[in-house]
Amino acid sequence: MWDVWARIEAVLRTTAPDLLAALPAGATPEAIRTAEARLGVTLPTDVRESYAVHDGSGEVGLVPCELYGLIGVPLHSLSEMVREWQMWQDWGRDGTDHRPASPEGPVKADRYNPRWVPVAWDGSAVNLCIDLDPAPGGVPGQVIYLDHLNPQCVAAEGWRAFLERYAAAMEAGRLRFEADELVVDG
């Protein structure tokens, strides 16, 4: 993942140096293990490696969320990831669970699935999650979109693939930052 983050950082260095400077340092191996223990999962290698490079993005709306049009969303730090996941589990225990509409693709029609790990949030209702419990035909570690905790679709076959597509779009100039906001060219 260092190679993918190096590509992203190279574009930020020339196009949005203030955003690059605001990115947090990576998490320690101990912090990653602690988060995994609190979540009760082992994160995929690409997710662990990504957090070793940057423990979230702070307030920076860094990565694309394209469920309802393009916006840049902040990456959760490990502590934000655990806090949000725990909140979902608490909500699931309060008895208000319902079956969501059928998602597109190999995503379970669950709600509060304890094996969905939130990695980004749009500040309103949409989350990017690592799906460690995919439906048949899915891949453990696939990236999924949730809307109000209702699964919608697969965003990428894994975190590395998600970030590689993002890096390629930035390198090609299809995605760029204007006034610290992620925009699509054209």
The pLDDT tens digits of the residues spanning 156-176 come to: 999 999 999 999 999 999 999
Q: Which amino acid is at 105?
A: G
Listed in sequence order, the residues at least 6 apart from 83 whose beta carbon sits closer than 8 Å to its beta carbon are none
CA distance 114 to 99: 15
- Give, rounded to a whole angstrom, the gap between the first and last alpha carbons of the chain: 29
Residue count (the chain): 186
Q: Which residue has the higher pLDDT, 125 or 158?
A: 158
pLDDT higher than threshold 70 for residue 100: no
pLDDT bracket for residue 130 (50, 70, 90): very high
Q: Which residues pair with 183 in a beta bridge?
A: 176
Q: Which residue has the higher pLDDT, 91 or 73?
A: 73
**Residue 69: which CATH number?**
3.40.1580.10
Instruction: Give the residue numbers spanning the domain of 27.
Output: 2-184
pLDDT higher than threshold 80 for residue 67: no
Structurally, how many domains does the chain consist of? 1
Place of tokens 């912090």: 31
Region 146-151: mean pLDDT is 81
Q: Which of 23-27, 116-120, 150-154 has the least mean pLDDT?
A: 150-154
pTM, two decimals, is 0.92
Region 41-66: mean pLDDT is 94
Q: Residue 91's pLDDT is what?
A: 80
Quick check: 20 and 182 in contact, CB under 8 A?
A: no
pLDDT higher than threshold 70 for residue 101: no
Q: Which residues pair with 120 in a beta bridge?
A: 75, 128
Q: Residue 98's pLDDT is what?
A: 59
Region 48-53: mean pLDDT is 98
